[in-house]
Amino acid sequence: MKTKKLWLIVSVLFIALIFVGALAFFQPEQKKFESSEPAYALDGCTVIIVGKNASTDGSVMTTHTCDCGVCDWTFRSIPAADYEAGATRKIYHIDQFETWPPEQGLKWEIYKKNFTGVEIPQPVHTYAYIHGMFGYMNDQQLAIGESTIGCRREMRNPTPSATFDITWLTLVAMEQCKTAREAIKLMGTLGEKYGYGYTDSGEMLAVADPNEVWIFEIMPVGPLWTPKSGKPGAIWCAQRIPDDHVSVCPNESRIGEIDLDNPDYFMASPNVISYAVDKGYYDSDSGESFNWKKAYSPSETSAASSKGSRARLWRFFDLVAPSQKFSPDTPNMELPFSVKPEKKLSAKDVMAMTRDKYEGTDYNPARGLQGGPFANPNFLPYGFSLDKQRYNTPRVIGVNRAEYVTVTQCRDWLPHPIGGIVWLAFGAQDTSCFMPLYAGITRIPHSFEIGDHWVFNRESARWAFDYVDFHTQTVYSHAIKDVRLAQEEWEEKALSRVESTDRVALELYKKDPAEAIVYLTDYSNNQANAVVNAWWKLGDDLLVKYNKLWSYDAKTRERNRLTFPDWYLKELIEHNQLKPEEPEGKR
């Protein structure tokens, strides 16, 4: 009997070791990256959300700052398609963070080697859409912005039993859905049926159409889930932003108390509360209301307590509703889901917010020694350790590691191909430029489809913006003025042309929708190519102008010294113990 017990114990231990090894084997590369840096250093992606009655023109807006720093930045335009009845759609695993050397091929072909073995029903018609790392807008004006929010560690499912990751959920939604509600229900259902996770943990999507915008959050249900369990393979919840409100997601769960008796504002998976009860995250007998974020992604921090590393939530609300005097000491979990802005926001306002670096606050990373002599807010973008002590640095909205930034506009007074616009800016927000891509276009510039972080390529649009960014960093306070002049010229030109472009496209659409599509495609591509060419030239001009840390004036052919601030020179004297020169008569 003792021998049998001993063998039973040994067998259980052996199985446990195999399971742990399997988890280690299936742990995505992303998790290795996570383990080498503090959690807050990996905050990637800020999403700003604007209801239609909170915008100056009645458009619904979302953003996505794709703040990765090592991810694929390429874009695709996927055409609409028709299929035979009964056709299926293969589902693949796509890791947000994985890239390959260009000589091995492009990500959006290589991913097809990672077939999950699952095929889902394909509708007889799929919609055209534009996508980068995620689907951003289709030809029905369904729009999406993404932000990773995390979840409790034991909820993660890093095994292939989770068929869907967040990328594939957005792509399938783009192909099959017309409205935000349709997309949320489809993505939630797919996660429940086929499992969600593998390379992703908790994720938030801002899901918009011309009439409304929702925050949709989805999380895995642990590594032991399998389709045979009969239980949902994901847990999700969605809350609608009031039409006259704005909101933001800065890598933190945003949904609090929920009211499923109000389906016009809330949707959720059937296990939304029961899972928390089963796991001990929520006591249903406590008398307290169920709170989604406190149950599944709790975070005890504030802008002040984190020394600015978790200040984006507070900063956004302070920008849009300053008279409410939101305190940086308020825990982020206690800040509101959304607010009514004190003035309606335009697309230009939203673009400016994506570039915000906490100017005028104690968290401005350009102030003092941290910004260096040229007030560069991009120095020390992460916290650091010294003498066994950890120091945080502010994590701004306009962080300089963005792959690209999108601002989407959905407009209900225009046909879908004309009403939808994806404003795309490659690279860091502060040195990039937004370019309009209308929802109905049938192609994008080839330069948008190629490029890699580790291989310089003048054929890649993204490298034009990195080229400008690189030449801006060394003398930031001087060079950024040149960049802002270029941004003002090109972005103002595009923004001011929206009304006339819409008008011409609408006139064509009434006669022949195909002609309007050709017009918008040509306009979007021509505008994008012109901006890319302008940024290559701007990079050349900056190289010449600030060569060797001087200022070269091409018009006058003069060279002048760059000025250094007094505080920096004083620090230099003290740190290097410099001595003043002797007066000429005493030498």
The model's pLDDT over 69-89, given as tens digits with 9 standing for 90+, comes to 999 999 999 999 999 999 999
Asked if residue 448 is part of any domain, the answer here is yes
Let me know: does 192 contact 272? Beta carbons within 8 Å.
Answer: no
Query: Mean pLDDT throughout 431-435?
Result: 98
Give residue for tokens 């890791």: 95
Report residue 584 as tokens.
Answer: 């000429």
Domain containing 434 equals: 28-587
Q: What is the pLDDT of residue 90?
A: 97
Is the predicted pLDDT of residue 5 greater than 50, yes or no? Answer: no
What pTM, to 2 d.p., does this model score? 0.91
C-alpha span between 73 and 71 (Å, rounded): 6
The least confident of 31-40, 141-150, 576-585 is: 31-40
pLDDT the model gives residue 587: 62
Question: What count of Cα atoms within 13 Å lies in the side-chain half-sphere of residue 252?
Answer: 26
Share above pLDDT 70 across residues of the chain, in percent, rounded to a whole number: 93
Tokens 């990500």 belong to which residue?
Answer: 107
Residues 327-333 have a mean pLDDT of 97
Buried b (16+ CB within 10 A) or exposed e, 514-541: eebbbbbbebbbebbbebbebbbebbeb
For residue 10, being part of any structural domain is answered with no
Q: CA 406 to CA 281: how far, in whole Å? A: 35
If phi > 0 it is left, if psi is from -120 to 50 it is alpha, else beta; for residue 539 that is alpha
Of the candidates 273, 204, 271, the one whose C-alpha atom is nearest the C-alpha of residue 241 is 204
Is residue 9 a part of any domain in this protein?
Answer: no
Q: Which two tokens stand for residue 80?
A: 């609409």
Quickly state the pLDDT bin for 584 (edges 50, 70, 90): confident
Q: Give, as one character, the DSSP assignment of residue 431.
A: G
How far apart are alpha carbons 221 and 219 in whole angstroms?
7
Number of domains in the chain: 1
- The DSSP code sequence of 334-403 is GS-S-B--SSPBPHHHHHHHHT---TTSTT-TTSHHHHTTTT-TTSS-S-EEETTEEE-----SS-TTEE
Query: What size, in residues, is the chain?
Result: 587
Residue 23 counted as domain residue: no
CA–CA distance, 128 with 213 (Å, rounded to integer): 20
Summary mean pLDDT of the chain: 92
* Distance, CA of 83 to CA of 125 (rounded, Å): 6
With respect to residue 5, please indicate whether it lies within any of the assigned structural domains: no
In a domain, 18, yes or no: no
| Residue 323 pLDDT > 70 | yes
pLDDT digits (tens, 9 = 90+) for 9-58: 334 333 333 333 433 333 333 333 333 333 433 578 999 999 999 999 99
Domain for residue 286, yes or no? Answer: yes
Nearest to 410 by CA among 172, 63, 146, 175: 63
* Any domain includes 330: yes
**For the chain, first and last CA: distance in Å?**
100
Spatial distance between the Cα atoms of 110 and 102, rounded to a whole number of angstroms = 11
User: pLDDT value at position 382?
Assistant: 84
Region 321-345: what's the mean pLDDT? 97
Q: Per-residue pLDDT for 565 more than 50? A: yes
